[in-house]
Structure 1
Amino acid sequence: MSFVVALPFGIASAVVYGASIVVQHRVAQDTAEGDAEPSAAGLMRLVKHPVFLLAIAGDAVGFILQITALKLGSVVVIQPLVVLMLPVALAVSSIWNRTRPHKGDYLGCVGVLVGLGVFLGLVGKSSAGHVHRPRDLALAAALVLGTALWLSIAVTGRNKIIRGAMFGATAGLCFGTLAVMVDAASDRASDAGVHSLFTGPKGLVPLIGILVLGGGGIVLTQLSFQVGALNATLPANLAVDPVTGVVFGAVLLDERIPTSPAHLAVYALCFVAALAGTIRLARPREPVQRGASAAG
């Protein structure tokens, strides 16, 4: 694994995803009908929209960059980089809507970047592990999908903010687990060739996990976009995604990071800083037009 080489690919992936997700949200809101309730009809309108399809193509580029990063680095290092999508999405949204970020938005970005930067500095190059049995990967995927389905049903009838945030959080749960499946499939292909992904459970299980979790994450993300504003759905997604990736990376791939009491304490502070920044960016506010005061 090469931490220095993997890092740029992980950052590039987050940048592409961050730009693409703003476009997807805008199209989802523009094509929503009535009360903007999530529906299969709404998803069908999306897949017929050329701008949305272009944004999905951007996601494909981001996914390729992420696969490359995970092939070169570990999940516990690469997956936390997804939080960079938040400041990128803020910048792209401001340009698109011709508004200026509030001062508090800059503070939120600082919290996210500082928390992430310190965490990555402490982790460095994590110790390499090994992929657990296919049965463990399958159980993890089933648990995540079952939890995502249960939580999505549990918020039926709640207000838009709660439903949008829950759809976003469950999408993050799927995407965080997806990264583990990508890493497992990449290791299998490197060890035994690409054909091994189709000839036995060690390849088929992570490959099927990629398809199912990726599809589920995309559907849940688009449902969240139909329901609520980006500043309510995206932070929930990005709060759950890296935590899921780090936990499953340690449990299912045995990727080891320093775990002394001092390290754990600083990890907690990093998480608090990133979470505080995420919450600050998620606060609803009136847009500040360019040329107007940016008091936040």
Structure 2
Amino acid sequence: MGLTVAVSLLAAVCFGVASVLQHRGALRARPRTPLHPGLLVELAGKPGWLAGAAAQAAGVSLHLLAVNLGPLSVVQPILTVGLVVALLLQRLSGRRISRSSLLAAGLVMVGLAAFLVVTPSFAAAGPVTLAGWAPGLLLAGAVLAAVALAGLLGSGTVRCVCFGASAGVLMATSAALGKAWGAVLHSGGLVALAGSWQLWAAVACGALGTLLSQAAFQAGPLGGSLATMMAIDPVIGVGLGVVVFGEPFATSSTAAPRALGLAVTLVGVILLATAQRAAQGPAARSGERPLSQV
């Protein structure tokens, strides 16, 4: 379990770095209609954004390794550390960090520690048939449809938050599908993996999630979009781990502290997003998007 946690933390760091760099690139891109593929084409020509894409690719690789080493219900909550990393990067770039931000970051770390310290042992195997995936995919699909529609119909902060949530759902779903790759590789090798629906479904989720995340970054401050991604990702991830892979969330004696730890983590993420948005100042609240904001 220690290796799973370490690899997950490294993935979170990469995602935090990637989010900051990609957010800056998205703010400098020409505004387009929601989910226009031309956004990614333009961003691909920006060196800073490409550096973020490289960090994201490293994060995805580490993430896939982590979910094949341990349970989704452990890996996905650890990714919330990425938001704390983004906060530290703001500080290193010269931005002032408020006490409320530091408190929120502390809540994230304390809640995560409480969640992980009572992790139950597990022995789960991925389902073989599509029918075994159906309940989890329907759950994720229903949430995705609701928040994506709200983002398309809304604007400003609503669009930023909803597209961020949509990206979070897709990230968690892609991770769940990636967790099945290890079993497919073990049973049939690269040929079996190349022909598996789990591979291409994960790739599709990843591509759409990337487009949604960049649309969220372009719609508003990083705090709101990244926080909603980080808040919904562990919830969907834990749900898919339990429903699809049969991972035990907790034993009867650890259910309360584990649920409390996850709740504290999510509250910290939300408070951190609020603090970051408040720190944007009057320009951000009036709808302007200064290029220097992180």
Q: Percent identity of the aligned residues?
A: 29
Residue in structure 2 matched with residue 285 of structure 1 by the alignment: 278
Q: CA deviation at 1:80?
A: 1.1
Q: Deviations over 1:99-119 (max 9, x none)?
A: 121111111011001111111
Aligned partner of 1:59: which letter?
Q
Q: CA deviation at 1:138?
A: 5.9
TM norm structure 2: 0.87
Q: Deviations over 1:138-158 (max 9, x none)?
A: 664466346424432234343
Residue in structure 1 matched with residue 262 of structure 2 by the alignment: 271
Q: Deviations over 1:31-71 (max 9, x none)?
A: 244xx764524333212222212211111111111122122
Query: 2: distance between equivalents of 1:258 and 1:147?
Result: 24
**Cα separation, partners in 2 of 1:62 and 1:87, compared to 1, 3 Å:** same
TM norm structure 1: 0.86
Residue in structure 1 matched with residue 23 of structure 2 by the alignment: 25
Aligned partner of 1:80: which letter?
P
Query: 2: distance between equivalents of 1:103 and 1:112?
Result: 14
Structure 1 gaps of 5+ residues are 289-296
Q: CA deviation at 1:27?
A: 0.8
**Cα separation, partners in 2 of 1:220 and 1:39, compared to 1, 3 Å:** closer
**Cα separation, partners in 2 of 1:269 and 1:143, compared to 1, 3 Å:** closer
- The alignment's C-alpha RMSD in Å is 2.1
Any conservation in 2 of the 1:38–1:224 contact (CA below 8 Å)? no
Q: Deviations over 1:68-104 (max 9, x none)?
A: 21222121111111100010011112323x1121111
Query: 2: distance between equivalents of 1:230 and 1:174?
Result: 18
Any conservation in 1 of the 2:119–2:258 contact (CA below 8 Å)? no
Residue in structure 2 matched with residue 151 of structure 1 by the alignment: 147
Any conservation in 2 of the 1:20–1:58 contact (CA below 8 Å)? yes
Residue in structure 2 matched with residue 294 of structure 1 by the alignment: none
Query: 1: distance between equivalents of 2:23 and 2:124?
Result: 37
Residue in structure 1 matched with residue 214 of structure 2 by the alignment: 222
Partner residue of 1:60 out of 41, 57, 60: 57
Query: 1: distance between equivalents of 2:83 and 2:51?
Result: 20
Any conservation in 2 of the 1:99–1:287 contact (CA below 8 Å)? no
Structure 2 gaps of 5+ residues are 282-294
Any conservation in 2 of the 1:134–1:205 contact (CA below 8 Å)? no
**Cα separation, partners in 2 of 1:233 and 1:81, compared to 1, 3 Å:** same
**Cα separation, partners in 2 of 1:285 and 1:257, compared to 1, 3 Å:** closer
Any conservation in 2 of the 1:10–1:66 contact (CA below 8 Å)? yes
